[in-house]
Amino acid sequence: MKSYLLSGLAALLLSGLTGLSANAQDAAAPVAVAKAKLQTGNLAPTPPMGWNTWNTFQTRIDEPLLKGMVDAYVSSGMRDAGYKYFVLDDGWMTMERDASGNLVADPKKFPNGMKALADYVHSKGLKFGIYNCAGWKTCAGYPGSRGHEYQDALLYASWGVDFLKYDWCNTDSLNAREAYITMSAALKATGRPIVFSLCEWGNHKPWQWAGGVGELYRTTGDITANFDKDKHMGTWSALSVMHILDQQVNIRQFNGPNHWNDPDMLEVGNGMSYSEDKAHFSMWCMLSAPLAAGNDLRKMSDQTKSILTNKEVIAIDQDELGIAAYKKALPDSIEVWVKPLKNNDVAVCFLNRSAKSQKLDIKWADLNLEDKTTGLNISFNTRQYAARDLWTKTATGTTKGSFKQEIPMHDVVMLRLTAK
C-alpha cells in the first residue's frame, strides 16, 4: 500500500514537472497519470444503475430501436427510480477499423453516428455507455481494443461516452490485470470521467486487484433467465440466478464504494416468474450489486415495472455503506441474508430456494447475527427493531418474539429493520 501511494505521488509530481496534459498519448506517461488520479476517483460511490442492450437484443441493435428505448427509459419511470446509464453492448461496430485504425459505428445500424446517439441519451438526462473487449476481437467477432487502447479511449471521449464495459474474449495469453490497467489508464488519460466496468468473468479473481482499476468487475460467467438451472451453450454454460448468487458468498468482503463485485446484469422481465424476478432483484440489492436492467423497457408489464422501480428495495442496494449481505442458512432450503445499513438499520431477506411454499417461523432471538467482516453485530436480545416488508410495503411488527410468514416457492420476504 505504502509503495502504491508513493508511486502515485511520484507520478503526480512528475506530471506537474513535465506539464503533462490530460490528453497525453505518450506511451509511458498515462499509466503514471492514472495511478495518481486513482487516489481521488469517486465515480461510483454507490453501485451503478442502468440498462444494457445485451440480455434482450444481443447484436440486433440500431438507432431507431435504441432511441425508442431511451424514451421508454424515461416514460417508464426507470430514470426517476435512479437508473442512470444507457449502455450499448457488443454489436455496434463495423467488422473492420477504418484506414486510420479507428473503430467505426456500423452506418447501417447508426446512420447518424455514435455521437448523435450519445447526445440523444444525454438530452434525456442519462449517461451513455459503450462496449469493447481487451482481446483482438469482441465476443461477437467485432474489432477488439488490443493494441488500440489509447486511440479507442480518445474516440469514446470525443463521442461523450461515460461508461465502458470491457470484455475478455480472444485475449490468448494476455495478463488480465495488466490488460485492464492499460485500458483504465487510457480512459483516465482522456480527462473525461468514464466509469470502467471490467468483464473478465471472475477468471482471475478481479475482486483482489480491480479496486482502483475500474469501478465494477464481473465476478462470474454470463447469467441466463432461469432461477436455478444453468443453460448449456455448447462450449460454455450460462449461469442461473441461484448459481451466481452462490458464487458471491465468499467474496462479499471485497465489495464497497467505487469497487463493486458485479454478479452480471439483471434478467428481471425476461421470462422468469414474478416470484423469481422479485427474488433475483432482492438478492442483487442485498449484495449491493450494480443494477443493469436487461429487459425491453418498451414492453414492461406492470409487475416487472413494480420490481425494477421499487424505491425501498433500491435504497437497500444504494445504501451508502455499500456492504454486501452475508448468508445464514435456515432449515428447509430457506436462507436468511443480512445486510448492515447506515444508521444501524439492517436489511434482512428470507429466500425460499425450494420448489414448494415454506412456512417461516423463527424467533428473532435465535437469529442474532455476527458480521465478522464489518464487526457490525446484531443482537435481538439487547436491541429492538421495527420491521417493514419492502415488497408489501407494510409494517410487520417488531423484532420482539417471533416472525411467522409463508414464503412461496422461489420467492423472498425482504425486511428493513429500523432500530427503535
Residue with Cβ nearer ligand GLA (54 or 281): 54
Instruction: Give me 36's grid cell.
Output: 495518481
Catalytic-residue membership of 162: no
SS3 for 379-407, per residue? CCCCCCEEEEECCCCEEEEECCCEEEEEE
Cα end-to-end span (Å), the chain: 40
Residue with Cβ nearer ligand GLA (90 or 149): 90
Residue with Cβ nearer ligand GLA (89 or 335): 89
Residue with Cβ nearer ligand GLA (21 or 58): 58
Q: Which residue from 32, 134, 199, 287 is in contact with ligand GLA, where contact means CB under 6 A?
A: 199
Task: Mark residues 136-155: x for contact with ligand GLA by CB under 6 A, - for none.
Answer: --xxx---------------
89, 152, 162, 222: which is the annotated catalytic residue?
A: 222
Q: How many CB atoms lie within 10 A of CB 96?
A: 10
Cα(222)–Cα(296) distance, integer angstroms: 18
| Least distance to ligand GLA, CB of residue 135, Å | 11
Residue 380's contacts (CB-CB under 8 Å, 6 or more residues apart) are: 364, 365, 367, 368, 399
Residue with Cβ nearer ligand GLA (197 or 255): 197
Taking a C-beta distance cutoff of 8 angstroms, is the pair 389, 415 a contact?
Answer: yes
Tell whether residue 162 is a contact of ligand GLA (CB under 6 A).
Answer: no
**SS3 of residue 375 by DSSP:** coil
Cα(188)–Cα(198) distance, integer angstroms: 15
90, 162, 167, 371: which is the annotated catalytic residue?
A: 167
Tell whether residue 345 is a contact of ligand GLA (CB under 6 A).
Answer: no
Q: Which residue from 31, 36, 54, 56 is in contact with ligand GLA, where contact means CB under 6 A?
A: 54
With CB atoms as reference, the residue minimizing the distance to ligand GLA is 139
| Least distance to ligand GLA, CB of residue 190, Å | 22
Residue with Cβ nearer ligand GLA (202 or 269): 202
Catalytic-residue membership of 296: no
| Least distance to ligand GLA, CB of residue 264, Å | 7
Taking a C-beta distance cutoff of 8 angstroms, is the pair 266, 284 a contact?
Answer: yes
Residues 346-385 binding ligand GLA (CB under 6 A) are: none
Residue 58's contacts (CB-CB under 8 Å, 6 or more residues apart) are: 89, 90, 91, 140
| Least distance to ligand GLA, CB of residue 218, Å | 7
Q: Each residue of 307-346: b (16+ CB within 10 Å) or e?
A: bbbbeebbbbbbbebbbbbbbeebeeebbbbbbbbeeebb
Residue 8's contacts (CB-CB under 8 Å, 6 or more residues apart) are: 35, 36, 38, 39
Task: Mark residues 88-127: x for contact with ligand GLA by CB under 6 A, - for none.
Answer: -xx-------------------------------------
Cα(318)–Cα(47) distance, integer angstroms: 6
Tell whether residue 245 is a contact of ligand GLA (CB under 6 A).
Answer: no
| Least distance to ligand GLA, CB of residue 19, Å | 39
**SS3 of residue 148 by DSSP:** coil
Residues serving a catalytic function are 167, 222
Q: Which residues bind ligand GLA (CB under 6 A)?
A: 54, 89-90, 138-140, 167, 199, 222
